[in-house]
A and B are shown apart, each in its own frame.
Chain A
C-alpha cells in the first residue's frame, strides 16, 4: 500500500515512533512516499542539533531511511523558517549565514502534504502526547 506520514511531534517519543513505523512499513513492503514534518515536527530535521550521548541521532536515522528507501522527508516551509530551519535557498533569501537543515531533508509547502494525502491509501499522524 501507499503510505504517507504527518509528523507534528518534536524529537521525542512520538517522533521515534514515527521513525519506527516508517522503517517497519518499508520492511513490510509498503511504499512510503513522503513524511511531512509540520509545526514542531520540523525540529526533527535540525542539522545542528547534537544528540546527548547514548541517545539516538534522529535526523541521521531519518536520513538513512530516506537514502535507503527513497522516502521524501519534507519540512513545512513556514514551520521551518520561523524555527531557524533553513536550506541553502532559504538561508540566502533571508540573509542568514548558513543552512541548518539536516542532510536528507528538504523544505516544501503544505501542498506536498495535500498531494501525499490524495495519493496514499494510508495517512497517519504522529503528535507528542502530554
Chain B
C-alpha cells in the first residue's frame, strides 16, 4: 500500500441517504481530523454508493453527502479506501473515484484492519 496505514480506521457500510449512519461516519472523520487524528476511511459494501458523482440533494432538501465527501481532503482526511468487489457488485467499476482513493480487495482490507490500532464501524 502506498500510504501508511492509519491508526484510526472508520469503516462505513451504509448508503448515504437512508439512515444517517453514513453521515455520522463522515462527521466522525472530520472531527478526528480536526483533533489531529486524521483517520482512514474504508467504504465497504453498500458504503461505496456514497461515492456516486452528481448527487443532487436539493430535491430532498437534505445535506449533499457527495459535497461533504469532496471536502474531506481539505480537512486532511485523505486516506480513502474503496471496496473493489462492491464496485463490481453495483456495476460501478468505471466510476470516477476521489483522487485520494485506493481500490482495495479482501486481502488489502484485511491488511487495513490489522494495521490500524482502532476501528470504528458505522
A/B: CB atoms within 8 Å of each other: yes
Task: Verify A39–B8 contact, CB threshold 8 A.
Answer: no
Known contacts A123-B120, A125-B119; is-contact A79 B24 (Cβ 8 Å): yes
Task: Verify B21–A110 contact, CB threshold 8 A.
Answer: no
Is A64 on the interface with B (CB-CB < 8 A)?
A: no
| Min CB gap B37→A, angstroms | 6
Chain B interface, >50% SS class: mixed
Q: How far is the CA of A76 from the CA of B35 in the complex (A)?
A: 16
Task: Verify B118–A123 contact, CB threshold 8 A.
Answer: yes
Name the CB-closest residue of B to A126. B121
Task: Verify A127–B28 contact, CB threshold 8 A.
Answer: no
Q: Name the contact of A8 in the complex, choosing from B21, B34, B118 (C-beta under 8 A).
A: B21
* Chain B residues near A113 (CB-CB < 8 A): 28, 31
Task: Verify B27–A6 contact, CB threshold 8 A.
Answer: no
Task: Verify A118–B21 contact, CB threshold 8 A.
Answer: no
Q: How far is the CA of A110 from the CA of B8 in the complex (A)?
A: 15
Interface residues on B, range: 10 to 19
Interface residues on A, range: 10 to 19
Known contacts A39-B20, A39-B21, A110-B28; is-contact A6 B120 (Cβ 8 Å): yes
Pairs across A and B, CB under 8 Å, 30 listed:
A6-B120, A8-B122, A39-B24, A39-B122, A40-B19, A76-B24, A79-B24, A109-B31, A110-B28, A110-B31, A110-B32, A111-B31, A111-B34, A113-B28, A114-B31, A114-B32, A114-B35, A117-B8, A117-B32, A117-B118, A117-B120, A118-B35, A118-B37, A123-B118, A123-B119, A125-B120, A125-B121, A125-B122, A127-B121, A127-B122
Binding site for B on A (CB under 8 A): 6, 8, 38-40, 76, 78-79, 109-111, 113-115, 117-118, 123, 125, 127
Binding site for A on B (CB under 8 A): 8, 19-21, 24, 27-28, 31-32, 34-35, 37, 118-122
